[in-house]
Amino acid sequence: MILRITIVLIIITNIGYAQTSEALEGENTIQSHSYCIELIRNNRLEDAEVVIRDKINSIESNDEKASFCYLIAKTYNNNLFYTLSLAYAKEGIDYLDASSSLNIALNHVIIINHIDLKNYDLAETHYWKLEKLDSFKEDSKANKYNLIGEIYRLKGDYDKSILFYHRAIEVNTNNSNKVALATNYNLSLIHI
């Protein structure tokens, strides 16, 4: 079950937010992030935290600080350190204006962490907060409908889950992409 959810969430997380890492410029940031990944994977969290704090303190721009926090939050999530991931996603939000597209990506990371922690009510609360931040741009509607459908499925509210999965499918009728595959897969889980 966890593997199945993780695969679907990886697909959802990576669609639409890939440009965030491109927003960080400079080899120094990329090297710091790569070094942090290595430390985190080797379970050297104290060392990673020192490098992360030093890097954040050395960045002048709030947007770049938020971008680095986003990368760290995703790294911690990918390595199953959900509480640390949540902390960096929230810190990144603190650096931003509410209207920033990165704010939307950071809130998405918060939702994914709450799902991973089985805090489905908090995931739902943050989803509706995300909906208010984002104007449901056409290219992200299916992702968001699929995400809330998954939250309702995990909460056991299959009727609402099916409703949102169908909305995601409707949005995807003219689009051939990974979200359609993930949505159809998630919808099939309800019927199993």
State the Cα–Cα distance between residues 24 and 150, nearest whole angstrom. Answer: 31
Determine the pLDDT at residue 131: 80
Q: Which residue has the higher pLDDT, 191 or 162?
A: 162
Nearest CA-CA partner of 49 in 29, 72, 65, 28: 72
Share of the chain above pLDDT 70, in %: 70
18-121: what CATH class? mainly alpha
Determine the pLDDT at residue 3: 41
Mean pLDDT score of the chain: 78
Determine the pLDDT at residue 189: 58
Confidence of residue 23 (pLDDT cuts 50, 70, 90): very low
Distance of alpha carbon 101 from the chain centroid: 13
State the Cα–Cα distance between residues 96 and 103, nearest whole angstrom. Answer: 7
Q: Which residue has the higher pLDDT, 12 or 46?
A: 46
Structural domain boundaries in the chain: 18-121
Q: Is the pLDDT of residue 187 over 60?
A: no
Lowest mean pLDDT among 28-32, 60-64, 115-119, 188-192: 188-192
Q: Is the pLDDT of residue 21 over 60?
A: no
Mean pLDDT score, 83-92: 96
pTM above 0.85, yes or no: no
**Residue ranges of the alpha helices (H) in the chain?**
2-14, 19-23, 27-41, 45-58, 62-78, 82-94, 101-116, 120-133, 138-155, 158-171, 178-190
Nearest CA-CA partner of 112 in 67, 76, 68: 76
State the Cα–Cα distance between residues 192 and 168, nearest whole angstrom. Answer: 20
Cβ(101)–Cβ(70) below 8 Å: no
Q: Which residue has the higher pLDDT, 20 or 191?
A: 191
> What phi and psi values does residue 185 have, to the nearest 5 degrees?
-65, -45
Q: Which residue has the higher pLDDT, 191 or 41?
A: 41
